[in-house]
Amino acid sequence: MASHRRPKQPSRTRVTVFSTAAAAAVVLSANAANAAPSEKPNKDEVKSKVDKLYEEAEQATEKLDGAKEKQQKLQKEINSLQDNVARGQDELNQLREGLGSMASAQYRTGGIDPSVALFLSSNPDDFLDKASAMDQLSAHQVEMLKKVQAKQRSLAQQRAEASSKLKDLADTRADLAKKKQEVQSKLGSAQKLLNSLTAQEKAALVSQDQERATRASKRVDLGTGTGKAASGRAAAAFAAAESVIGAPYVYTHAGPSSFDCSGLTSWAYAQADVTIPRTSQAQANAGTRIYSQSDLKIGDLVIFYGDQHHVGLYAGDGRVLHAPHSGAFVRFESMANMPFQFGVRI
């Protein structure tokens, strides 16, 4: 006789597992169908992205240069304050020794007044504030005590100032580390993009960059009418910059064998015995601004980009002599390749 048992139903757990697996398979299939194939960026796309990263790295570099300059300035001020405090403490000790000698002499002669003991107090203000006791002191004693009082106040103020600057220095060092990491991150991203190119594509990019620079590479003869410099110091600065054409761009460097943009200009003017600020933004305010390119002369600073993060030296004929960016070298270039803001005559 045939069996009339009902077929065994699949368990709820098995149904759930199968349903979940089926749903996942549908989702994966849909994603696979909709996903665009991963495409390697072409040479022009890489160049555009790398140029943008280099620009961002230079913006960060100028901020890094400013933080380094602030750190150096703070350290000098702190050292000076600490030296002053040390000398002041020696002077205060000598004044106190003088008061002690005076008290000892009065004691030996039997003429010491009880109030003289307060000469050696670490807080002579308490004594001087008691006007009723002033007639118990000689004019010389009063003068000595006032000197101690003034020296103590001066030392307290200098110690407080040094303490404040030390805190500012610690904050500046933290900011410095952050900005350095930002520059390195931008440069690392740019290098990663460049590494995605073939050797032939890399060579093409280098050739393209060199070709652009070559078109503007005519050297300036400062002895001719067309090579008229803004001043003798501008001529000397420009000649110094010309002497390092081919030196590599290295962020935060200011010569003599490698430079970033403001490092080159500040170094060049230093060779002419002229001190200008370290960063491009500060150099933008270092002299007389010139807004018309037709009024520029050899050796004038030329400022680029709205945030003023790039600077070079005017080289005549609409060209700039500058340290362009990481991976490049000090060279001439057409000013038309960057958004000119204004010139600065030092």
What DSSP line would sit under 121-172, residue for residue? Answer: -S-THHHHT-GGGGGGS-HHHHHHHHHHHHHHHHHHHHHHHHHHHHHHHHHH
pLDDT (0 to 100) of residue 225 = 44
Q: Summarize the confidence of residues 133-147 as an average pLDDT.
A: 65
For residue 270, the number of C-alpha atoms closer than 13 Å in the C-beta half-sphere is 11
pLDDT digits over 279-307, tens only? 999 999 999 999 999 999 999 999 999 99
Active-site choice (253, 309, 310, 325): 310
Tell me which CATH homologous superfamily contains domain 217-345: endopeptidase domain like (from Nostoc punctiforme) (3.90.1720.10)
pLDDT digits over 230-239, tens only? 899 999 999 9
Amino acid at position 164, single letter: S
> Tokens 């007044």, residue?
113
Structure tokens at 307: 């945030």
CB atoms within 10 A of CB 327: 16
Phi, psi of 218 (to 5 degrees): -65, 125
Q: What angle do CA 189, 244, 217 make, to 5 degrees?
A: 80
183 vs 301, residue with greater confidence: 301
pLDDT (0 to 100) of residue 180 = 86
Q: What's the gap between Cα 258 and its chain centre? A: 17
| pLDDT class of 117 with cuts at 50, 70, 90 | low
Active-site choice (253, 261, 309, 325): 261
pLDDT (0 to 100) of residue 20 = 43
**Residues 6+ positions from 173 with CB-CB distance below 8 Å:** 71
**Residues 6+ positions from 165 with CB-CB distance below 8 Å:** 74, 77, 78, 81
Examine the residue annotation and report whether 309 is marked as an active-site residue of this protein.
Answer: no
Task: Specify whether the CB–CB gap between 286 and 344 falls below 8 A.
Answer: yes
Task: Specify whether the CB–CB gap between 250 and 260 falls below 8 A.
Answer: yes
Examine the residue annotation and report whether 4 is marked as an active-site residue of this protein.
Answer: no
Active-site choice (253, 309, 322, 325): 322
Q: Summarize the confidence of residues 316-342 as an average pLDDT.
A: 94
42 vs 1, residue with greater confidence: 42
pLDDT beyond 90 at 26: no
Domain map (residue ranges) of the chain: 43-195, 217-345
